[in-house]
Amino acid sequence: MELLIIAGLSIAVFLLWDRVSKLKRRIDAHEDWLSDLATRRGVSSKSGEEPDEAVSAPAPQSEAAEPIPASRQVDPVSKAEPEPELEPAASMPLAAPSPALRSEVEEQVEVPAPAPTAEPEPEPEPEDTGPRFDFEDIFGRRLPIWAGGIALAVGGIFLVRYSIEAGLLTPGVRVFLSFLFGLGLIGGAEAAYRLEDRVKDERVRQALAGAGIATLFGAFYLAGSGYGLIGAGAAFVGLAVVTAGAIAMSFRFGLPCAVLGLIGGFAAPVLVDSDSANVPLLALYLSLVAGGLAWTGEKQGRRWLGYAALGLGLGWGLLMQLGGINSGKDFAALGGYLIVLGTVLPAFLHSRGGASPLQIAAAGVATLQMASLVDNAGYDPLTLGLYGLIAAALAALGWRFPPLRAGSAVAAFVGIWLLILWPVPVAQHFAIAAAVFALITAGVPLAHQLRGRAGLLDIAQLGGSAIGIGLAAYVQFGSWDSEPRETMLAISMAALALFPILAFWSRWRTSDEMEIRASLILLSAAHVLSFSALLLVTLAWAAPVVAAAVALPTLALLWKRDALPLLIASWGAIAGTIISLMVTPAFEAELLRLGGGSDVAWRGAELLRWIATAVPLMAMAIMRPTLVSRPIADGLSAVIIYGAIAQLVPGETLAWIAAAAALGLYLWRSDRFAAWGTPLAIAGLWTLEPLAEWIFAGFAAMVGIPFLSDSALGLIDIARQIAPFLGVAGFLAWRGTALPKQVRWAFMAAVGLIGITVVHSIYKQIWGIDSLLRFEHFGMGERSIWQAALVLVGIALMQLPKTTLTRVASSAALCVAFAHFAWFTLLLHNPLANVQHAGPTPIANWLPVAYGAAIAALVLMRGELEELISKARHGVDVAVMALVALLSVSLLRQIFAGSVLTAPPIGQSESLMISLLGIALALGYLWWGSFKSLRSWRIGSLVLMLGAVGKVFLIDAAGLEGLLRIASFLALGFSLIGIGWVYSRQLSRRNTA
């Protein structure tokens, strides 16, 4: 008890200190106002007297030295010169001080009057002698009185405690003296109030009254819980009387009484020692205390007092629920109590000003506590009715005070969760509760909208409540099975859809400009509920048909009025239609038919689903000829219609159907790129599977795994999957004059790449190399002819008129031919190192064809390369000489070894012939270099000759014997002499020139 009283007194000290701080700020503001006012009036007085000073006699100096009070100085000036700028209210942002304070301050402020002289002189600055914040004033004059009151209360407590410890007084006497002391303090406060002219300080009576109230609270506590002199009911009544007295005395003695009434009133139930709580009586008592304190705060201009009472009252509501409530009358009492705190008191606090977040928070907390009460009562009809009552009260308050509509939104949200979490509800009870709740949470916002006073929060509450109640109904009574038709739920969804539909109709009718967020909320809610209502009476497979039927009214509204909310809602409805197609159970099987086709069986349901999904898209494409909506609608429509066709026709025809549709749409409307480009893209997708196999086999071939014929494109695949796209793309590249140049170039590149793939695959099928054995026998011939064919294509393209296209195409063909030879024939499958049949006939075999094609490609590309690289010719000459040497060695090896060059080892005769061949090639290179004046060839001959010399001395001399060794050296000697002679002639000619 002592701690409670000390805590209350501490709070009182804190509030008094805050009041002192506010008083200090107010005094400082008044001082600034008086200083500015004195300055302005002094200047005005000087300017008003200047004309008289020029003709009047100078006044004595003694008069100028006398101080003139500010109040006496103002009146004559204001009467002589009533100028508007001299009014304090027009020049000062601060409110004028009260008359009492103004007179008190004016007595202390003296401003010296200006001395009238023949020549005007500047007046001295007025001295600021007003009151200032002073430490001695606050802590010497003001606070001691409050501290004295607190000391009296604490002294009384310790006096009683001392008497108890010393055993001087009996319990009855102690309680009697406590009552007597408390009443005496209140009597002293009344005396100080009546003798105000002598006391002259209101804080004396406030301190005495506060101490007296605290003592009376303690006396009743001792009499009831402390000593048991009176019953719990009597003690509670006594504490309630003291609380009421404190509230009443706050009007006579001020703030401390109100604070003690707040603390003691809500602490009284705790101070009473009782075995069981009477919930109805307690709820009534707390309602009266909270209401009395709220009324007192409003009357005294202390609204915070009402908010504090509201908060403590809600805290008591939580404590009562935690303490356990069992009987129906307890539930009813607590429900009524929460209604009072959640609706009546917030409305009362709103009566003299705007709504605040505290009021909305109080309504929300009361709503949550009411929901908890409903759950604790097992969703009893009584508690459900109480929750409906608090929701209706909040809606009524929102009708009168729009800022309080947030509390109604909180009640709607919590109520929806109550409906969803209702365990095993009776259908009739749930229907009644849901209907009443819909009328409150959705009907009231609809009324606001019909009256033209709905805000965004009202619209959100309307749409959210309608959808939420429908969701709760389906969760409680709906079946997740796709088969049964649920007529009653469908009727309920349709009824709930009327709320957003009517609200949107009201906005449509009254305004041409549609606010985006509100319109989207209403349209979305109407769409979802209408779709749900129709779907509940149809089978699951018909979901796209139902979604399309619901989307068409929104599109019709867009047709009549071009508004952004309608456009967004229309696309949302279209998206819902597509999603409804995708989530139905039959979609997986239907999706597989897009790539594999059908078995030519009539599937009316599948066709209807896909066609219905395409209808809103086609409508959007017709209505919105814009750069965004129409292309998207065209593209999606093409995909959906293709899907519909795929449900009926075999897969072998789908690529041709898509390509034919693309070509037809292009010829009809070439400007609708998405309309014809989407089916063309679908036809292109059909090429991916066979092309992917070809590409995978090609990458494998790049690392040495032979590209067999079964990895190439089959003729059937080419006819079914490649040819449709290739034909249309070729036509567009050839005759697509309406297309941009870049698009035609892209089609041309695609046709070229896919065309090469097709030709390569047909070529592979002709050779029929389907095993490694056949690859060893025919791989060399297959590659050689392919490379030669590419070179011939390059040559043919070079004969055409010189254009960028022909130059690029010919260079590409020649580059591919040489790269194919270099990678596959020269590196991976070289006959000199791998088993590759070059042919049984000397000279007339695959070797000259392969090397000849590579050399021809290099020679033909030399001009193009010289344009890119200045010294590319030398590189080409080096490559040609190297290839000629390798060809010569390969042909010589074929003469000795036969078709497989790796089979027998190199003998002495063959080794000698290689040396002689090197010498002959060196002479040939020298002659060609001399004939064409090509220094690179002459240097090549020297390099080759040095190689031959090294071979003769290092290999032949060691491995040959007899005449072969002699012949080798003789040939080498004559060759060296011949080369030296030729070089001497070449150098002499160059020097002569």
Percent share of the chain, pLDDT over 90:
31
Out of 295-299, 523-527, 731-735, the most confident range is: 523-527
Q: Cα(737)–Cα(916) distance, rounded to whole angstroms?
A: 63
User: 231: number of CA atoms within 13 Å, CB side?
Assistant: 3
Residue 55: band (very low, low, confident or very high) from pLDDT cuts 50, 70, 90: very low
Token pair 């002294």 is found at 155
pLDDT, one tens digit per residue, over 889-915 is 999 999 988 899 987 887 777 777 887
Reading the block at residue 339, the tokens are 């209604």
pTM score over 0.85: no
Distance CA 839, CA 850 (A): 12
Helix segments in 377-486, DSSP class H: 381-400, 405-421, 427-438, 444-450, 456-477
Q: 958: pLDDT confidence band, cut at 50, 70 and 90?
A: low
pLDDT of residue 317: 74
d(CA 821, CA 181): 121
Q: How far apart are CA 861 and CA 814, in angstroms?
A: 7
Residues 6+ apart with CB under 8 A from 220: 235, 238, 239, 242, 271
Residues 465/412, Cβ–Cβ less than 8 Å:
yes
Q: How far apart are CA 460 and CA 346, in angstroms?
A: 23
Distance CA 524, CA 531 (A): 10
Cα gap 812→815, rounded to integer Å: 5
Angle between helices 673-686 and 654-668 (to 10 degrees): 160
Residues 190-222 have pLDDT tens digits of 776 777 776 666 666 666 666 667 667 666 666
- Predicted confidence (pLDDT) at residue 80 exceeds the cutoff of 70: no
- Of 619-628, 731-740, 914-923, least confident by mean pLDDT is 914-923
Residues with Cβ within 8 Å of residue 97, at least 6 apart in sequence: 30, 33, 105
Q: What is the pLDDT of residue 923?
A: 79
CA 611 to chain centre: 34
Q: Across the chain, which distance is largest between two alpha carbons, in Å? A: 159
Paired tokens of 487: 């007529």
Q: Which amino acid is at 850?
A: A
Residue type, 862: R
For residues 546 and 640, give the distance between their C-alpha atoms in angstroms, rounded to a whole number: 16
Rounded-to-integer distance, Cα 444 and Cα 457, Å:
12
Q: How confident is the model at residue 718 (pLDDT cuts 50, 70, 90)?
A: very high
**DSSP line for 100-138:** HHHHHHHTT-EEEPPPP-SS--PPPPPP-------HHII
Distance from C-alpha of 981 to C-alpha of 977, rounded to nearest angstrom: 6
The reported pLDDT for the residue numbered 82 is 43
Q: How far is CA 940 from CA 873, 886, 936, in A?
A: 14, 14, 6
Average pLDDT (231-247) is: 69
pLDDT value for 114: 47
- Phi/psi of residue 290, each to 5°? -60, -45
> Rounded CA gap, 100 and 106, in Å?
10
Q: Which spans in 54-195 are helix H?
A: 61-65, 70-80, 88-91, 99-106, 135-136, 143-166, 171-194
Q: Kindly write down the DSSP assignment for every residue of 364-405, as one continuous string.
A: HHHHHHHHHHHHHTTS-HHHHHHHHHHHHHHHHHHHH-GGGH
DSSP state of 68: E
Q: Do residues 174 and 163 lie in contact, with contact meaning Cβ atoms separated by under 8 Å?
A: yes
The three-state secondary structure class of 478 is coil
pLDDT tens digits along 469-519: 999 999 988 876 655 678 899 999 999 999 999 999 998 888 767 788 999
Q: Residue 607's CB: how many other CB atoms inside 10 A?
A: 16
401 band by pLDDT with thresholds 50, 70 and 90: confident
Write the DSSP symbol of residue 536.
Answer: T
Distance from chain centroid for Cα 688: 36
Residue 420 contacts residue 449 (beta carbons within 8 Å): no
Chain-centroid distance, C-alpha 821 = 56
- Report residue 67: phi and psi, to 5°: -75, 140
Dist. CA 447–CA 140, nearest whole Å: 63
Mean pLDDT of the chain: 76
CB atoms within 10 A of CB 702: 12
Q: Output the DSSP codes for 887-907.
A: HHHHHHHHHHH-SBTTSSPP-
Q: Which of 70-79, 655-664, 710-719, 901-910 has the lowest mean pLDDT?
A: 70-79
How many other CB atoms sit within 10 Å of the CB of residue 958?
9
Residue range 115-119: mean pLDDT, rounded: 46
Q: Is the pLDDT score of 932 beyond 90?
A: no
Rounded Cα distance between 397 and 401, Å, is: 6
| Contact (CB, 8 A) for 794 and 817 | yes
The token duo for 199 is 């006391």
Q: Tell me the two tokens of residue 21.
A: 């701080």
User: What is the sign of the dihedral through the CA atoms of 179, 185, 188 and 190?
Assistant: negative
- For 6-26, the pLDDT digits (tens) are 444 455 555 555 566 667 677
Cα 954 from Cα 947, distance rounded (Å): 10
Question: 448: which 2 tokens?
Answer: 């606001």
Answer yes or no: are the C-beta atoms of 524 and 572 closer than 8 Å: yes
Q: What is the mean pLDDT of residues 869-891?
A: 86
pLDDT at res. 227: 60
Q: What is the pLDDT of residues 240-249, one digit of tens each?
A: 677 777 677 7
Q: Cβ distance 219 to 186 under 8 Å? A: no
The band of 920, judged by pLDDT with boundaries at 50, 70 and 90, is confident
- Distance, in Å, from the CA atom of 894 to the CA atom of 836, rounded to the nearest integer, reads 12
**Residues 287, 266: Cα–Cα separation, whole Å:** 10
Give CA 583 to chain center in angstroms: 25
298-307, 356-365, 634-643 — most confident range: 634-643
Q: Give the H/E segment covering residue 69.
A: strand 67-69
* Average pLDDT of span 394-419: 82
Tell me what pLDDT residue 231 has. Answer: 65
Helices 688-702, 673-686: crossing angle, 10 deg rounding: 50
Q: What are phi and psi of 900, to 5 degrees?
A: -95, 110
Give the pLDDT confidence of 644-685 residue by residue, as tens digits: 999 888 888 999 999 999 999 999 988 889 999 999 999 999
Q: Which two tokens stand for residue 395?
A: 């809606």
**Three-class DSSP category at 731:** helix
One-letter amino acid at 420 equals I
Euclidean distance between CA atoms 878 and 150, whole angstroms: 114
Closest Cα to residue 241, out of 292, 301, 195? 292
Residue 800 has pLDDT above 60, yes or no: yes
| Structure-token pair, residue 736 | 């697509």
Helix axes 772-798, 846-868, angle to 10 degrees: 40
Q: For position 378, what pLDDT does the model report?
A: 75
CB 582 within 8 A of CB 544: no
The alpha-carbon radius of gyration of the chain (Å, integer) is 53
Q: Residue range 313-327: average pLDDT? A: 71
* Residue 959: pLDDT over 70: no
Q: 649: part of which helix (H) or strand (E)?
A: none
Listed residue (357, 340, 366, 349) closest to 294, CA to CA: 349
